[in-house]
Each structure stands twice: as C-alpha cells, then as structure tokens.
Amino acid sequence: MGVRLPGDSRQEEIDLEKSGKVCSLQRYRWNVLQDKKEPMDIAGLFRVEVRLRENTQAQMRLTAKLQEVLTDPLQKTVILELQEQIAKLSSEYWDLEMRWWEIKCGFYVGPVSRGIDFWRAQPKWYMHPVLIEDCAGRGGCCARDCGCCVHRERRWGRKLAAGHCTTECGCCEKARGFELSDEQKTRLRKLIQPENGTVHYEKIRFASLLGLEVGNFENPLDRINAPKIYWMWAWILAVLAWL
C-alpha cells in the first residue's frame, strides 16, 4: 500500500466494509465526523434539496393544470401564464442543481462523505421509516396510498428532486381540498426544513445522510420501505432495458 492521503479509509473502516455490518460501518463514519468536525454545510445541502423538491413538485402541479386547459381556446391567457411559470421553474431548477453540486463538492473527502455517497446511491434511500413518518406526519402522500413519493423520481427522472412532499405537492393540495396560503406555506416549510440543532433536525440528518436512527441497529438497507409493487416494476424495467 502506498502513502496514505488525508481522507483515505483507515483499517477499521476497511474491516467494517468487509464484514458487511452496514449499520456499524455507517455509525463509525458518523463518529469520525463528530471527532474531527469535518467542514460540511449539511444544513445548506438540506435547504437546497427541499427547494429542488419544491421546484419539481410545482412543475408537476402546474403541468397537470396545463393539460386540463390546453385544448380550451377560451383559456389562452391561462395557458400562456402556466407555460411561462413552468419555463421559469425549469430554469430555476438548473440553478439549484448547480448550487447543490457546489455545496456537495465542499464536503471533506473521508468516511462521512463515503457514507453519504453509499446511502444516497440507493435509489429509494428516502423511503427510510424516519423520513416516511415525517412526511406522513405533515399530511404528505405517505399518509395516503397514492404512491407519489416512491414513484416521484421515475416520473420525472430528477434524482436530486426525489423525496417527500413539500408545500408544492399537487396531490396533497387535492387531498386537502384547498391551496395553502403564504403563511401556511411558511409554517409548513419549518417542518420540512427543521432548524439546525433541534431534535427534529438531528433525526432527519441521521436518516437522510446515512440511513441511521438513534437506538436502531438494523441494516439500513433492510429498512428501505418501498412498496413491493415498486420493486416489481423496477425489475421489469431492468429486464426490458437489458433486452
């Protein structure tokens, strides 16, 4: 083995990787962050990710409305307004993607960044029980059987926007039966993006970044709670792609 570089895997991390003990490995990686205080703008990353989801869910909602009026010649003004809003959101999404990458590139290369990359490489990482419970508790789609959250990435092909409901979710709007006021959106955003240092923030951070939960020692991969129907369709799509 050559000369080690800062951030290279140490023997303890390598041994845990070989052992297959994913929970222990991820916990080890987190403890390294706590010990060394590696510079990472985790709160900033979360803020951008919420905005990416808001943006995409707004586009989905407006696109659905556009489809409803597209063939009505009397709705020409409405159609143009919706098209302009969608185009603006599409441009903003690109800016947000660049901002996300800028923050992510600032993460110190080491055990924690490897742990994040490992967890986020799972297509349905966000279907962790803690994150599902959080979405359901806010009245999001995980409180219903619509399946919007689990299928969101497949519908739009935006990996960075995959995740749970925001103030812009059209399905949630239909379920409520009314649009949220600006005041209600502001209050709900505080639940979606909890303040750094709160118990809520810590729970979301553990689950979102590393698939961990305080007091739970199960393999995080076994806790991804995507419905069986998703895995069936994922398998079918994989076979079709291979053919």
Digit-coded pLDDT (tens) for 230-243: 444 444 444 444 55
Q: Residues of the chain whose pLDDT is less than 50?
A: 228-241
Residue 239: what pLDDT? 46
Residue 201: what pLDDT? 92
Residue 203: what pLDDT? 94
Residue 177: what pLDDT? 93
CA 226 vs CA 33, 34, 55, 124: distances in Å: 29, 31, 23, 7
Residue 238: what pLDDT? 45
Residue 43 burial by Cβ neighbours in a 10 Å radius (0-12, 13-18, 19+): middle
Residue 166 burial by Cβ neighbours in a 10 Å radius (0-12, 13-18, 19+): buried
Residue 153: what pLDDT? 67
C-alpha 211/C-alpha 230 separation (Å) is: 20
Residue 55: what pLDDT? 96
Residue 230: what pLDDT? 44
Instruction: State the first-to-last Cα distance of the chain, in angstroms, to the nearest integer.
Output: 42
Count other C-beta atoms under 10 Å from residue 29's C-beta.
24
With contact defined as beta carbons under 8 Å apart, do 51 and 189 qualify? no
Give me the DSSP letters along 182-213.
Answer: HHHHHHHHHHHSPPTTSHHHHHHHHHHHHS-B
